[in-house]
């Protein structure tokens, strides 16, 4: 099933790079009064890799994801995704770039006034995909996360785990090459957390690069993937 | 096309969701358009009547009772040779009295107590429209007034000119007022649309994160403004029509006595369409201002 999800041609952005999907060079983000959220960060994330980003609160995990989502611009250094320097993207190129990125947040960010299926088909809808394709593709990913029977429910009628699965389905509906997850299990109990991680592992198995920011060391140990540890905006450990 | 379809559907849905606050914006637009529409209705009708009266303009040359036939002949020769007249008619003293009795039946007894017919003979001259505008009619009136046998010449264009200039002042003031009200309506629309925008922050954030085109993000807010403006304008037209009909019902007989029957008309379709387009433009501008905060 996962293979069929990725059977469509994946979105591409920038010049193709066979090695790393994410590459940073002396990346820094300075907020007001000279406070460094990230300092001199240099790392790479390979294609189809599953990477954990961890560290205490305020370590810079979310800031890094914000930079990757182009919600913020780096203050210093370079950030490349698939070979494109994100600092140099124009407004329309940012839109194009974001279409190739999936995102999952701790608070799910589902639209409460829309049904589960509408929450997912909303993405292709606002990207101008024809209506029939929107619903077909939305149903396909919803089935993949095992929630096709809840497609007419509203987000607030679902459990936290189900809401996060809907959020993952929404992230996958545009067939991204890179999936970013910011504390995706932060609101879930340990069993549901592992369930969500297994889902993300399946996504990764289909070829999508996955970056998960979490402070849950136990979960990282259970999943057992490469881990980048940040503290006070700097990389302190690469395991 | 899909962006337009999406914008209209989402704009309508948002308008319906926030119908309480939306009603305020629609009323604000409707009020502005009622003011503008009333002004148009009045000025358009008055301008039309002025044009009718101007095209039917004529002057009357009243002859002295002792005017000779030679003097009358000289007057008529001057009129015919001037190129100003579209036609003329001699009204004798007896004809004038008959006309008075038939047109003012209630006043007719007043004319019976005189030993002699008190009405003067006259020559009524229909003036060509171009001669009114280029001043030849005025020049002819002055020349006729100086001829022997002429008691008076009445050429009442001055009041038409005064009405026309008064109308211009009313129109200027009214348009300024309507413009201010339209501005206030646009600000109201922008505020209402921004309220809707705040309620849809999550949707907008998701749209931005998935790389949605600007047209999809801003479109619904502009469409919401356009719809508010269009609805406001339609309501204003209905109010204007009801007001126009009511005035016709209440004072139709009195107006009919002063003006010719059927002289007052409601705004033509092109004006109504312009008002709706204007309302939509005001609403759309308000929506666009609000939408700029979305992306």
- B129 and B229 share one domain: no
For B10, nearest residue in chain A (alpha carbons): A126
Task: Answer for the pair A69, A101: CB distance below 8 angstroms, yes or no.
Answer: yes
Q: Write the CA distances from B14 to A16, A28, B18, B122, B210, integer angstroms.
A: 41, 41, 6, 72, 21
- B215 and B285 share one domain: yes
> pLDDT-derived band of residue B231, with 50, 70 and 90 as boundaries?
very high
Calculate the average pLDDT of chain B. 84
Six-digit token string for B183? 């501005």
Sign of the Cα pseudo-torsion (B288, B289, B293, B295, in order): positive
Buried b / exposed e along B172-202 (16+ C-beta atoms within 10 A) = eebbeebeebbeebbebbbbbbbbbbeebee
Contact between chains at B216 and A174 (C-beta distance less than 8 A)? no
In chain A, residues with a C-beta closer than 8 Å to the C-beta of B212 are 95, 126-127
The arithmetic mean of pLDDT across residues B83-96, rounded, is 89
Alpha helices in chain A (DSSP H): 2-5, 61-68, 91-98, 116-126, 131-144, 160-172, 190-205, 217-223
Alpha-carbon B128 to chain mean position: 25
Instruction: Read off the pLDDT of residues B265-281 as tens digits, 9 standing for 90 and up.
Output: 888 999 999 999 988 99
Backbone angles phi, psi at B215, to 5 degrees: -60, -35
Q: What is residue A15's predicted lDDT score, i.e. its pLDDT? A: 43
Q: Which of B2, B3, B211 sits opposite A95 (nearest CB)?
A: B211
Task: Indicate the helix (H) or strand (E) that contains B156.
Answer: none
The arithmetic mean of pLDDT across residues B85-107, rounded, is 85
Backbone angles phi, psi at B190, to 5 degrees: -60, -40
The arithmetic mean of pLDDT across residues A102-117, rounded, is 90
- B143 CB burial (10 A radius; 0-12, 13-18, 19+): middle
Q: What is residue A113's predicted lDDT score, i.e. its pLDDT? A: 85
Q: What is residue B253's predicted lDDT score, i.e. its pLDDT? A: 67
Q: How far apart are CA A41 and CA B250, in angstroms?
A: 83
Q: How far apart are CA A94 and CA B219, in angstroms?
A: 19
Adjacency order of strands within the sheet including B122-127: B85-91, B122-127, B58-63, B150-154
Specify which residues A79 forms β-bridges with. A24
Task: Answer for the pair A36, A199: CB distance below 8 angstroms, yes or no.
Answer: no
How many CA atoms lie within 13 Å of A40's alpha carbon, on the beta-carbon side? 1
ipTM exceeds 0.85: no
Q: How far apart are CA B23 and CA B232, in angstroms?
A: 9
- B67 and B45 share one domain: no
Q: Are strands A76-81 and A20-31 parallel, antiparallel or unpaired?
A: antiparallel
Task: Answer for the pair B98, B111: CB distance below 8 angstroms, yes or no.
Answer: no
CA distance A239 to chain B (A): 30
The arithmetic mean of pLDDT across residues A177-202, rounded, is 89
The arithmetic mean of pLDDT across residues A18-47, rounded, is 89
- B32 and B145 share one domain: no
Q: What is residue A2's predicted lDDT score, i.e. its pLDDT? A: 44
Number of domains in chain B: 2
- Whichever domain contains B84, its CATH number is 3.30.70.3040
Q: Which of B6, B203, B213 sits opposite A95 (nearest CB)?
A: B213
- B205 and B189 share one domain: yes
Domain boundary among B140, B156, B172: B156
Domain boundary among B116, B137, B156: B156
- B46 and B137 share one domain: no
- Candidates A178, A136, A145; CA nearest to A163 is A145
How many residues are there in chain B? 295
Q: Which of B208, B209, B211 sits opposite A96 (nearest CB)?
A: B211
In chain A, residues with a C-beta closer than 8 Å to the C-beta of B6 are 125-126
CA distance A49 to chain B (A): 22
How many CA atoms lie within 13 Å of B227's alpha carbon, on the beta-carbon side? 21
> pLDDT-derived band of residue A69, with 50, 70 and 90 as boundaries?
very high
Chain B, 196 to 235: residues with Cβ < 8 Å from chain A are: 202-203, 205-214, 216-217
Looking at per-residue confidence, does A166 or B24 come out higher? A166
Q: Write the CA distances from A195 to A19, A161, B220, integer angstroms.
A: 30, 8, 38
Contact between chains at A103 and B216 (C-beta distance less than 8 A)? no
- B171 and B270 share one domain: yes
Domain boundary among B156, B191, B207: B156
Six-digit token string for A1? 């099933």
- B165 and B278 share one domain: yes
Instruction: Read off the pLDDT of residues B250-263 as tens digits, 9 standing for 90 and up.
Output: 776 666 666 655 56
- B191 and B269 share one domain: yes
Q: How far apart are CA B110 and CA B112, in angstroms?
A: 6
Task: Answer for the pair B127, B57: CB distance below 8 angstroms, yes or no.
Answer: yes
Instruction: Read off the pLDDT of residues A143-158 as tens digits, 9 standing for 90 and up.
Output: 989 999 999 999 999 9
What angle, rounded to 10 degrees, do the helices at B2-17 and B214-258 form? 70
How many CA atoms lie within 13 Å of B132's alpha carbon, on the beta-carbon side? 20
User: What is the residue extent of each domain of chain A?
Assistant: 2-8+47-70+98-238
Topology adopted by domain A2-8+47-70+98-238 = Rossmann fold (3.40.50)
Q: What is residue A3's predicted lDDT score, i.e. its pLDDT? A: 44
Beta strands in A32-122 (DSSP E): 35-46, 50-54, 76-81, 84-85, 101-105
- Candidates B224, B292, B206, B215; CA nearest to B3 is B215
Six-digit token string for A62? 């979310």
CA distance A200 to chain B (A): 19
Q: How far apart are CA B16 and CA B73, in angstroms?
A: 78
Instruction: Read off the pLDDT of residues B185-211 as tens digits, 9 standing for 90 and up.
Output: 888 888 888 887 887 888 888 888 888
The torsion angle over the Cα atoms of residues A115, A120, A123 and A129, rounded to 10 degrees, is -100
- B42 and B180 share one domain: yes
- B183 and B273 share one domain: yes
Q: Which residues span the domain enclosing B268?
A: 2-53+160-291
- B185 and B42 share one domain: yes
Q: What is residue A75's predicted lDDT score, i.e. its pLDDT? A: 93
In chain A, residues with a C-beta closer than 8 Å to the C-beta of B207 are 126
Six-digit token string for A110? 């589902």
For B217, nearest residue in chain A (alpha carbons): A126
Could you tell me how many CB contacts below 8 A there are between chain A and chain B?
Answer: 47
Q: Which of B3, B202, B211 sits opposite A98 (nearest CB)?
A: B211
Cα angle: A142, vertex B212, A1; to 5 degrees: 25
Q: What is residue A7's predicted lDDT score, i.e. its pLDDT? A: 41
Greatest CA separation found in chain A? 51
Six-digit token string for A12? 């591409």
The arithmetic mean of pLDDT across residues B99-105, rounded, is 80
Q: Phi/psi class of residue A180: alpha, beta or left (left: φ > 0; alpha: ψ in -120 to 50)?
A: beta
In chain A, residues with a C-beta closer than 8 Å to the C-beta of B217 are 126
């Amino acid at each position: 099933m996962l293979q069929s999800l990725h059977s469509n041609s994946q979105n591409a952005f920038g010049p193709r790079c066979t090695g790393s999907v994410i590459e940073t060079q002396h990346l820094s983000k300075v907020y007001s009064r000279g406070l460094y959220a990230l300092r001199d960060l240099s790392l790479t994330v390979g294609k189809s890799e599953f990477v954990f980003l961890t560290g205490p609160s305020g370590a810079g995990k979310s800031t890094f994801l914000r930079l990757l989502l182009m919600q913020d611009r780096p203050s210093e250094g370079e950030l490349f995704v698939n070979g494109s320097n994100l600092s140099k993207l124009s407004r329309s190129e940012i839109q194009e770039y974001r279409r190739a990125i999936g995102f999952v947040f701790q608070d799910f960010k589902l639209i409460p006034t829309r049904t589960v299926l509408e929450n997912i088909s909303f993405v292709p809808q606002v990207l101008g995909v024809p209506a029939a394709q929107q619903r077909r593709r939305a149903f396909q990913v919803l089935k993949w996360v095992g929630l096709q029977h809840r497609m007419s429910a509203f987000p607030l009628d679902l459990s936290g785990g189900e809401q996060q699965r809907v959020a993952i389905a929404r992230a996958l509906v545009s067939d991204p090459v890179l999936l970013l997850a910011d504390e995706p299990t932060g609101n879930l109990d340990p069993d549901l957390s592992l369930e969500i991680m297994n889902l993300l592992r399946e996504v990764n198995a289909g070829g999508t690069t996955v970056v998960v920011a979490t402070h849950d060391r136990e979960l990282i140990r259970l999943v057992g993937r490469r881990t980048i540890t940040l503290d006070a905006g700097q990389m302190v450990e690469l395991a | 096309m899909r962006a337009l379809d999406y914008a209209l559907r989402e704009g309508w849905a948002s308008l319906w969701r926030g119908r309480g606050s939306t009603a305020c914006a629609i009323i604000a637009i409707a009020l502005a358009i009622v003011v503008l529409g009333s002004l148009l209705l009045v000025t358009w009708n008055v301008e039309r009547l002025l044009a009718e009266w101007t095209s039917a303009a004529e002057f009357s040359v009243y002859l002295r009772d002792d005017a000779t036939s030679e003097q009358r002949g000289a007057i008529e020769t001057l009129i015919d040779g001037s190129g100003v007249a579209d036609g003329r008619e001699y009204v004798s003293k007896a004809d004038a009295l008959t006309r008075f009795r038939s047109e003012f039946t209630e006043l007719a007894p007043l004319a019976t107590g005189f030993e002699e017919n008190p009405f003067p003979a006259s020559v009524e001259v229909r003036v060509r429209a171009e001669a009114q505008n280029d001043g030849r009619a005025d020049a002819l009136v002055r020349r006729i007034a100086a001829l022997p046998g002429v008691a008076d010449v009445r050429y009442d264009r001055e009041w038409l000119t005064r009405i026309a200039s008064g109308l211009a002042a009313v129109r200027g003031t009214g348009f300024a007022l309507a413009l201010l009200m339209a501005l206030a309506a646009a600000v109201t629309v922008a505020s209402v649309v921004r309220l809707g925008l705040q309620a849809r922050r999550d949707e907008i954030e998701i749209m931005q994160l998935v790389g949605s085109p600007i047209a999809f993000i801003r479109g619904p807010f502009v469409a919401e403004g356009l719809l508010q403006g269009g609805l406001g304008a339609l309501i204003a037209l209905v109010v204007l029509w009801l007001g126009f009909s009511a005035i016709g019902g209440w004072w139709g007989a009195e107006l009919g006595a002063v003006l010719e029957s059927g002289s007052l008309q409601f705004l033509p379709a092109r004006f109504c369409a312009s008002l709706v387009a204007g309302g939509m433009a005001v609403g759309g501008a308000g929506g666009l201002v609000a939408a700029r905060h979305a992306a």
